[in-house]
Amino acid sequence: MDIKESVRHELRAISEHIIDLSHRIHASPELGFEEHQAVTWTTDLLAAAGFDVEVGICDLSTAFRARVGNGPLHIVFCAEYDALPVIGHACGHNIIAATAVGAGAAAAKVADDLGLTVTVLGTPGEEAGNAGGKILLLERGAFEGVDVAMMVHPAPFDALAPSIIAASMFDVHYTGKEAHAAAFPELGVNAADALTIAQTAIGLLRQHIRPTDRIHGIVTHGGEAPNIVPGFTSARYMVRATELRELDELRGRVHRCFDAGALATGAQLDIIGGDRPYAEMRHDAVIGAAYRRNSERLGRSFAPPSPAVVRMAASTDMGNVSLRIPAIHPSIGIDSWPAVNHQREFAAHCVTPTADRAVLDGALAMAWTAIDVARDEVTRKHVQGLARGSAEAG
Ligand SMILES: [Zn+2]
Ligand SMILES: [Zn+2]
Protein backbone atom coordinates (compact mmCIF):
# COMPACT_ATOMS: atom_id res chain seq x y z
CA MET A 1 0.00 0.00 0.00
CA ASP A 2 1.12 3.55 -0.77
CA ILE A 3 2.56 5.18 2.35
CA LYS A 4 -0.02 7.98 2.26
CA GLU A 5 -2.86 5.48 2.02
CA SER A 6 -1.47 3.52 4.94
CA VAL A 7 -1.35 6.70 6.99
CA ARG A 8 -4.94 7.45 6.00
CA HIS A 9 -5.78 3.99 7.26
CA GLU A 10 -4.10 4.67 10.61
CA LEU A 11 -6.00 7.88 11.05
CA ARG A 12 -9.31 6.26 10.15
CA ALA A 13 -8.74 3.67 12.88
CA ILE A 14 -8.57 6.36 15.57
CA SER A 15 -10.91 8.91 14.00
CA GLU A 16 -13.65 8.37 16.57
CA HIS A 17 -11.26 9.21 19.40
CA ILE A 18 -9.99 12.29 17.58
CA ILE A 19 -13.52 13.64 17.01
CA ASP A 20 -14.45 12.77 20.58
CA LEU A 21 -11.46 14.82 21.79
CA SER A 22 -12.58 17.79 19.72
CA HIS A 23 -16.11 17.59 21.16
CA ARG A 24 -14.97 17.11 24.75
CA ILE A 25 -12.67 20.11 24.68
CA HIS A 26 -15.44 22.14 23.05
CA ALA A 27 -17.93 21.18 25.78
CA SER A 28 -15.62 22.27 28.62
CA PRO A 29 -13.99 25.54 27.59
CA GLU A 30 -10.96 26.57 29.66
CA LEU A 31 -9.16 29.92 29.52
CA GLY A 32 -5.51 30.32 28.52
CA PHE A 33 -2.93 28.73 30.84
CA GLU A 34 -5.74 26.98 32.76
CA GLU A 35 -6.48 24.28 30.18
CA HIS A 36 -5.88 21.34 32.52
CA GLN A 37 -8.70 19.08 31.36
CA ALA A 38 -7.92 19.67 27.70
CA VAL A 39 -4.28 18.78 28.32
CA THR A 40 -5.21 15.59 30.18
CA TRP A 41 -7.56 14.41 27.43
CA THR A 42 -5.14 15.37 24.64
CA THR A 43 -2.10 13.73 26.21
CA ASP A 44 -4.05 10.58 27.19
CA LEU A 45 -4.79 10.04 23.53
CA LEU A 46 -1.18 10.69 22.53
CA ALA A 47 0.12 8.29 25.16
CA ALA A 48 -2.26 5.64 23.84
CA ALA A 49 -0.83 6.26 20.37
CA GLY A 50 2.67 5.47 21.67
CA PHE A 51 4.02 8.95 22.35
CA ASP A 52 6.34 9.77 25.26
CA VAL A 53 4.44 12.51 27.03
CA GLU A 54 5.78 15.24 29.30
CA VAL A 55 3.17 17.58 30.79
CA GLY A 56 4.14 20.91 32.37
CA ILE A 57 7.20 21.74 30.28
CA CYS A 58 9.07 25.08 30.36
CA ASP A 59 7.41 26.10 33.66
CA LEU A 60 3.98 26.12 32.04
CA SER A 61 1.61 23.70 33.74
CA THR A 62 -0.62 23.40 30.67
CA ALA A 63 2.11 23.05 28.06
CA PHE A 64 3.20 19.59 26.99
CA ARG A 65 5.56 17.76 24.70
CA ALA A 66 4.64 14.37 23.19
CA ARG A 67 7.32 12.71 21.09
CA VAL A 68 7.79 9.67 18.88
CA GLY A 69 10.83 8.63 16.83
CA ASN A 70 14.34 9.99 16.82
CA GLY A 71 15.01 10.68 13.16
CA PRO A 72 17.04 13.65 11.95
CA LEU A 73 14.04 15.57 10.56
CA HIS A 74 12.06 17.02 13.45
CA ILE A 75 8.45 17.96 12.74
CA VAL A 76 6.21 19.65 15.29
CA PHE A 77 2.42 19.81 15.20
CA CYS A 78 1.18 22.59 17.48
CA ALA A 79 -1.93 21.91 19.55
CA GLU A 80 -3.88 24.86 20.94
CA TYR A 81 -6.79 24.33 23.31
CA ASP A 82 -7.60 27.60 25.06
CA ALA A 83 -11.06 29.16 24.86
CA LEU A 84 -12.34 32.72 25.01
CA PRO A 85 -14.03 34.32 28.04
CA VAL A 86 -17.84 33.95 28.03
CA ILE A 87 -18.18 32.79 24.40
CA GLY A 88 -16.21 29.54 24.84
CA HIS A 89 -14.61 27.79 21.87
CA ALA A 90 -15.52 30.56 19.45
CA CYS A 91 -12.06 30.32 17.88
CA GLY A 92 -12.35 26.56 17.44
CA HIS A 93 -9.16 25.61 19.25
CA ASN A 94 -10.82 22.27 20.04
CA ILE A 95 -10.36 21.56 16.32
CA ILE A 96 -6.70 22.62 16.48
CA ALA A 97 -5.94 20.23 19.34
CA ALA A 98 -7.71 17.36 17.60
CA THR A 99 -6.02 17.92 14.22
CA ALA A 100 -2.60 18.07 15.89
CA VAL A 101 -3.22 14.77 17.68
CA GLY A 102 -4.55 13.16 14.50
CA ALA A 103 -1.62 14.40 12.41
CA GLY A 104 0.89 13.36 15.06
CA ALA A 105 -0.57 9.89 15.57
CA ALA A 106 -0.76 9.30 11.81
CA ALA A 107 2.78 10.57 11.13
CA ALA A 108 4.10 8.57 14.09
CA LYS A 109 3.35 5.35 12.23
CA VAL A 110 5.86 6.21 9.52
CA ALA A 111 8.38 8.14 11.66
CA ASP A 112 11.02 5.42 11.67
CA ASP A 113 10.66 4.63 7.95
CA LEU A 114 11.06 8.29 7.02
CA GLY A 115 13.72 9.35 9.54
CA LEU A 116 11.37 11.59 11.48
CA THR A 117 11.07 12.82 15.00
CA VAL A 118 7.40 13.68 15.48
CA THR A 119 6.37 16.00 18.30
CA VAL A 120 2.93 17.20 19.23
CA LEU A 121 3.58 20.33 21.24
CA GLY A 122 0.82 21.55 23.53
CA THR A 123 0.87 25.33 23.32
CA PRO A 124 -1.41 27.03 25.87
CA GLY A 125 -2.80 30.54 26.01
CA GLU A 126 -2.86 31.53 22.34
CA GLU A 127 -5.60 34.11 22.97
CA ALA A 128 -3.43 35.90 25.57
CA GLY A 129 -2.44 38.64 23.09
CA ASN A 130 0.94 39.17 24.78
CA ALA A 131 3.49 36.55 25.83
CA GLY A 132 1.31 33.77 24.41
CA GLY A 133 2.23 30.15 25.07
CA LYS A 134 4.31 29.74 21.92
CA ILE A 135 6.31 32.88 22.68
CA LEU A 136 7.17 31.55 26.15
CA LEU A 137 7.92 28.09 24.74
CA LEU A 138 10.20 29.65 22.10
CA GLU A 139 12.03 31.69 24.75
CA ARG A 140 12.42 28.61 26.93
CA GLY A 141 13.81 26.36 24.23
CA ALA A 142 10.86 24.10 23.37
CA PHE A 143 11.40 24.67 19.64
CA GLU A 144 15.18 24.03 19.67
CA GLY A 145 16.21 21.60 16.93
CA VAL A 146 12.79 21.71 15.27
CA ASP A 147 12.86 21.79 11.46
CA VAL A 148 9.18 22.35 10.65
CA ALA A 149 6.21 23.58 12.68
CA MET A 150 2.66 23.09 11.46
CA MET A 151 -0.88 23.71 12.57
CA VAL A 152 -4.24 24.42 10.98
CA HIS A 153 -6.77 26.90 12.30
CA PRO A 154 -10.52 26.69 11.73
CA ALA A 155 -12.09 29.54 9.81
CA PRO A 156 -15.16 30.08 7.61
CA PHE A 157 -13.12 29.08 4.50
CA ASP A 158 -9.94 27.24 3.58
CA ALA A 159 -7.08 29.67 3.02
CA LEU A 160 -3.50 28.61 2.43
CA ALA A 161 -1.77 31.71 3.76
CA PRO A 162 -4.29 33.84 5.65
CA SER A 163 -3.18 37.34 6.53
CA ILE A 164 -1.67 37.17 10.02
CA ILE A 165 -0.39 40.46 11.33
CA ALA A 166 1.63 41.58 14.34
CA ALA A 167 -0.25 42.41 17.55
CA SER A 168 0.37 43.75 20.99
CA MET A 169 -2.01 43.64 23.95
CA PHE A 170 -1.55 45.66 27.12
CA ASP A 171 -3.42 46.92 30.16
CA VAL A 172 -3.82 50.59 30.96
CA HIS A 173 -4.32 51.77 34.54
CA TYR A 174 -5.21 55.32 35.53
CA THR A 175 -4.99 56.25 39.19
CA GLY A 176 -6.70 59.48 40.20
CA LYS A 177 -8.32 60.53 43.45
CA GLU A 178 -11.83 59.89 44.74
CA ALA A 179 -14.05 62.72 45.91
CA HIS A 180 -17.75 63.39 46.46
CA ALA A 181 -18.92 63.94 42.88
CA ALA A 182 -21.41 66.68 43.82
CA ALA A 183 -20.22 68.16 47.14
CA PHE A 184 -16.46 68.49 46.49
CA PRO A 185 -15.68 67.45 42.91
CA GLU A 186 -12.80 69.93 42.84
CA LEU A 187 -10.92 67.66 45.25
CA GLY A 188 -11.04 64.70 42.85
CA VAL A 189 -8.78 63.56 40.03
CA ASN A 190 -11.05 61.81 37.55
CA ALA A 191 -9.50 58.58 36.24
CA ALA A 192 -12.52 57.98 33.96
CA ASP A 193 -11.95 61.33 32.26
CA ALA A 194 -8.39 60.25 31.54
CA LEU A 195 -9.71 57.19 29.75
CA THR A 196 -12.28 59.26 27.84
CA ILE A 197 -9.56 61.61 26.62
CA ALA A 198 -7.37 58.68 25.56
CA GLN A 199 -10.25 57.07 23.66
CA THR A 200 -11.07 60.37 21.95
CA ALA A 201 -7.42 60.82 20.96
CA ILE A 202 -7.33 57.26 19.57
CA GLY A 203 -10.54 57.94 17.64
CA LEU A 204 -8.89 60.98 16.04
CA LEU A 205 -5.66 59.07 15.42
CA ARG A 206 -7.59 56.62 13.23
CA GLN A 207 -7.67 59.17 10.40
CA HIS A 208 -3.89 59.08 10.23
CA ILE A 209 -2.98 55.41 10.39
CA ARG A 210 -2.48 52.84 7.66
CA PRO A 211 -5.63 51.02 6.47
CA THR A 212 -3.95 47.80 7.61
CA ASP A 213 -3.49 49.01 11.21
CA ARG A 214 -5.95 48.07 13.94
CA ILE A 215 -6.59 49.59 17.38
CA HIS A 216 -9.28 48.11 19.61
CA GLY A 217 -9.94 47.80 23.31
CA ILE A 218 -12.35 47.51 26.18
CA VAL A 219 -12.79 49.31 29.48
CA THR A 220 -12.16 46.75 32.19
CA HIS A 221 -12.95 49.04 35.12
CA GLY A 222 -14.88 52.26 34.77
CA GLY A 223 -15.41 53.45 38.32
CA GLU A 224 -17.33 52.53 41.47
CA ALA A 225 -20.47 54.67 41.62
CA PRO A 226 -21.76 57.80 39.92
CA ASN A 227 -21.47 59.79 43.12
CA ILE A 228 -17.77 58.98 43.57
CA VAL A 229 -15.25 60.67 41.30
CA PRO A 230 -13.53 57.60 39.79
CA GLY A 231 -10.18 57.13 41.49
CA PHE A 232 -9.18 54.16 39.40
CA THR A 233 -10.01 53.01 35.87
CA SER A 234 -8.48 50.43 33.59
CA ALA A 235 -8.68 49.27 30.01
CA ARG A 236 -7.22 46.50 27.90
CA TYR A 237 -6.14 47.44 24.39
CA MET A 238 -4.74 45.74 21.33
CA VAL A 239 -2.75 47.40 18.59
CA ARG A 240 -2.01 45.56 15.35
CA ALA A 241 -0.01 46.29 12.23
CA THR A 242 1.26 44.34 9.25
CA GLU A 243 4.69 43.74 10.78
CA LEU A 244 6.45 44.12 14.12
CA ARG A 245 8.36 47.10 12.77
CA GLU A 246 5.15 48.99 11.93
CA LEU A 247 3.57 47.79 15.16
CA ASP A 248 6.33 49.38 17.24
CA GLU A 249 5.75 52.73 15.62
CA LEU A 250 1.95 52.56 15.93
CA ARG A 251 2.14 51.40 19.53
CA GLY A 252 4.20 54.47 20.39
CA ARG A 253 1.51 56.73 18.91
CA VAL A 254 -1.27 54.92 20.80
CA HIS A 255 0.68 55.16 24.06
CA ARG A 256 0.86 58.92 23.55
CA CYS A 257 -2.97 59.00 23.39
CA PHE A 258 -2.97 57.40 26.84
CA ASP A 259 -0.31 59.92 27.96
CA ALA A 260 -2.72 62.65 26.86
CA GLY A 261 -5.37 61.35 29.29
CA ALA A 262 -2.90 61.46 32.16
CA LEU A 263 -1.60 64.90 31.21
CA ALA A 264 -5.03 66.49 30.93
CA THR A 265 -6.45 65.11 34.18
CA GLY A 266 -3.43 64.66 36.40
CA ALA A 267 -4.19 60.96 36.85
CA GLN A 268 -1.22 58.62 36.97
CA LEU A 269 -0.81 56.30 33.99
CA ASP A 270 0.64 52.80 34.12
CA ILE A 271 0.88 50.60 31.03
CA ILE A 272 1.32 46.94 31.83
CA GLY A 273 2.30 44.23 29.35
CA GLY A 274 2.70 44.54 25.61
CA ASP A 275 6.34 43.59 26.03
CA ARG A 276 6.15 40.34 24.04
CA PRO A 277 4.04 41.08 20.97
CA TYR A 278 2.79 38.56 18.44
CA ALA A 279 4.78 38.66 15.22
CA GLU A 280 3.48 38.57 11.68
CA MET A 281 3.27 35.09 10.13
CA ARG A 282 5.78 34.07 7.48
CA HIS A 283 4.02 31.18 5.72
CA ASP A 284 6.60 28.81 4.23
CA ALA A 285 5.71 28.62 0.54
CA VAL A 286 7.26 25.21 -0.12
CA ILE A 287 5.56 23.45 2.79
CA GLY A 288 2.40 25.39 2.02
CA ALA A 289 2.37 24.12 -1.55
CA ALA A 290 2.62 20.54 -0.28
CA TYR A 291 -0.21 21.15 2.18
CA ARG A 292 -2.32 22.57 -0.62
CA ARG A 293 -1.77 19.55 -2.89
CA ASN A 294 -2.62 17.21 -0.03
CA SER A 295 -5.75 19.13 0.94
CA GLU A 296 -6.92 19.22 -2.65
CA ARG A 297 -6.42 15.47 -2.86
CA LEU A 298 -8.94 15.27 0.02
CA GLY A 299 -11.42 17.30 -2.00
CA ARG A 300 -10.82 20.65 -0.34
CA SER A 301 -10.40 23.74 -2.48
CA PHE A 302 -8.59 27.02 -2.15
CA ALA A 303 -10.50 29.66 -4.00
CA PRO A 304 -8.55 32.78 -4.93
CA PRO A 305 -8.67 34.92 -1.79
CA SER A 306 -11.92 36.89 -1.64
CA PRO A 307 -11.88 40.54 -0.50
CA ALA A 308 -13.05 39.25 2.91
CA VAL A 309 -10.02 36.97 3.20
CA VAL A 310 -7.62 39.63 1.95
CA ARG A 311 -8.81 42.27 4.41
CA MET A 312 -8.92 39.77 7.27
CA ALA A 313 -6.33 40.59 9.93
CA ALA A 314 -5.87 38.09 12.70
CA SER A 315 -2.81 37.47 14.87
CA THR A 316 -1.27 34.44 16.53
CA ASP A 317 1.84 33.53 18.46
CA MET A 318 2.51 31.05 15.65
CA GLY A 319 3.84 34.15 13.86
CA ASN A 320 6.75 34.27 16.31
CA VAL A 321 7.46 30.60 15.62
CA SER A 322 7.39 31.22 11.86
CA LEU A 323 10.12 33.87 12.06
CA ARG A 324 12.46 31.24 13.53
CA ILE A 325 11.36 27.95 11.94
CA PRO A 326 9.76 27.10 8.59
CA ALA A 327 6.06 26.96 9.43
CA ILE A 328 2.56 26.87 8.04
CA HIS A 329 -0.73 28.02 9.56
CA PRO A 330 -3.43 27.51 6.93
CA SER A 331 -7.08 28.18 7.68
CA ILE A 332 -9.28 25.12 7.43
CA GLY A 333 -12.83 25.88 6.40
CA ILE A 334 -15.79 24.73 8.49
CA ASP A 335 -18.37 26.32 6.21
CA SER A 336 -19.61 28.69 8.87
CA TRP A 337 -19.95 31.93 6.88
CA PRO A 338 -21.34 34.45 7.82
CA ALA A 339 -20.39 33.23 11.29
CA VAL A 340 -16.76 34.18 11.90
CA ASN A 341 -14.22 33.49 14.63
CA HIS A 342 -14.93 35.06 18.02
CA GLN A 343 -18.71 34.86 17.62
CA ARG A 344 -21.03 32.54 19.54
CA GLU A 345 -22.39 31.32 16.20
CA PHE A 346 -18.88 30.24 15.18
CA ALA A 347 -18.51 28.30 18.43
CA ALA A 348 -21.68 26.42 17.55
CA HIS A 349 -20.20 25.55 14.13
CA CYS A 350 -17.05 24.04 15.68
CA VAL A 351 -18.72 20.71 16.51
CA THR A 352 -20.82 20.20 13.39
CA PRO A 353 -20.21 17.33 10.95
CA THR A 354 -18.42 19.85 8.69
CA ALA A 355 -16.11 20.77 11.56
CA ASP A 356 -15.48 17.09 12.30
CA ARG A 357 -14.57 16.55 8.67
CA ALA A 358 -12.20 19.51 8.89
CA VAL A 359 -10.52 17.83 11.88
CA LEU A 360 -9.83 14.64 9.94
CA ASP A 361 -8.90 16.42 6.69
CA GLY A 362 -6.58 18.84 8.50
CA ALA A 363 -4.91 16.00 10.37
CA LEU A 364 -4.38 13.92 7.25
CA ALA A 365 -3.26 16.85 5.10
CA MET A 366 -0.64 17.75 7.73
CA ALA A 367 0.54 14.14 8.12
CA TRP A 368 0.84 13.80 4.34
CA THR A 369 2.71 17.10 4.21
CA ALA A 370 5.17 15.74 6.77
CA ILE A 371 5.66 12.74 4.50
CA ASP A 372 6.28 14.99 1.49
CA VAL A 373 8.82 17.08 3.40
CA ALA A 374 10.61 13.91 4.52
CA ARG A 375 10.62 12.17 1.15
CA ASP A 376 11.43 15.05 -1.14
CA GLU A 377 15.18 15.75 -0.91
CA VAL A 378 14.83 19.33 -2.13
CA THR A 379 12.10 20.16 0.39
CA ARG A 380 13.95 18.41 3.17
CA LYS A 381 17.10 20.40 2.46
CA HIS A 382 15.02 23.58 2.12
CA VAL A 383 13.50 23.30 5.60
CA GLN A 384 16.63 22.03 7.33
CA GLY A 385 18.68 24.81 5.74
CA LEU A 386 16.18 27.44 6.85
CA ALA A 387 15.81 26.06 10.38
CA ARG A 388 19.57 25.85 10.89
CA GLY A 389 20.17 29.21 9.23
CA SER A 390 17.74 30.92 11.58
CA ALA A 391 19.18 29.10 14.59
CA GLU A 392 22.64 30.36 13.66
CA ALA A 393 21.28 33.86 13.10
CA GLY A 394 19.75 33.64 16.58
ZN1 LIG B 1 -8.96 33.56 18.38
ZN1 LIG C 1 -7.61 31.04 17.33
CA of 189 to the centre of ligand 1 (A): 37
Q: What average pLDDT does range 32-58 have in this prediction?
A: 98
- Ligand 2 centroid to Cα of residue 126, in Å, is 7
CA 240 – ligand 1 centroid, Å: 14
The dihedral formed by the CA atoms of 328, 281, 148 and 77, expressed in degrees to the nearest 10: -60
Coil/strand/helix, residue 216: strand
What's the distance, CA 209 to chain centroid?
Answer: 25
**Average pLDDT in the 36-43 region?**
98
| pLDDT category of residue 388 using cuts at 50, 70 and 90 | low
- Give the Cα separation of 79 and 287 in Å (integer): 18
Ligand nearest the Cα of residue 95 is: 2
What are 314-330's pLDDT values in tens digits? 999 999 999 999 999 99
- Helices (runs of H) and strands (runs of E) counted in the chain: 13, 12
* pLDDT confidence tier of residue 312, bands split at 50, 70 and 90: confident
Query: Sorting pLDDT into bands at 50, 70 and 90, what band is 1?
Result: confident
Model pLDDT for residues 182-196, shown as the tens digit of each residue: 999 999 999 999 999
Average pLDDT of the chain, as a whole number: 96
Per-residue pLDDT, 332: 97
Least confident residue range of 81-95, 193-207, 256-270, 380-394: 380-394
At residue 85 the predicted structure's pLDDT band, cuts being 50, 70 and 90, is very high
> pLDDT (tens digit, 9 = 90+) per residue, 215-260?
999 999 999 999 999 999 999 999 999 999 999 999 999 999 999 9
Q: Ligand 1: distance of its center to the CA of 102 in Å?
A: 21
Write down the pLDDT at residue 394. 45
| Model pLDDT, residue 43 | 98
The residue-averaged pLDDT of 288-309 equals 91
Between the CA of 220 and the centroid of ligand 1 the distance, in Å, is 19
Ligand 1 centroid to residue 190 C-alpha, Å: 34
pLDDT band at residue 371 under the 50/70/90 scheme:
very high
Confidence at 311, pLDDT banded by 50, 70, 90:
confident
State the DSSP string of 72-99: SEEEEEEE----BTTTBSTT-HHHHHHH
Q: What is the DSSP string of 40-53?
A: HHHHHHHHHTT-EE
Q: pLDDT (tens digit, 9 = 90+) per residue, 269-296?
A: 999 999 999 999 999 999 999 999 999 9
How much distance in Å is there from the Cα of 315 to the middle of ligand 2?
Answer: 8
pLDDT for 390: 59
pLDDT at residue 179 is higher than 50: yes
Considering every ligand atom, which ligand is closest to the CA of 88?
1
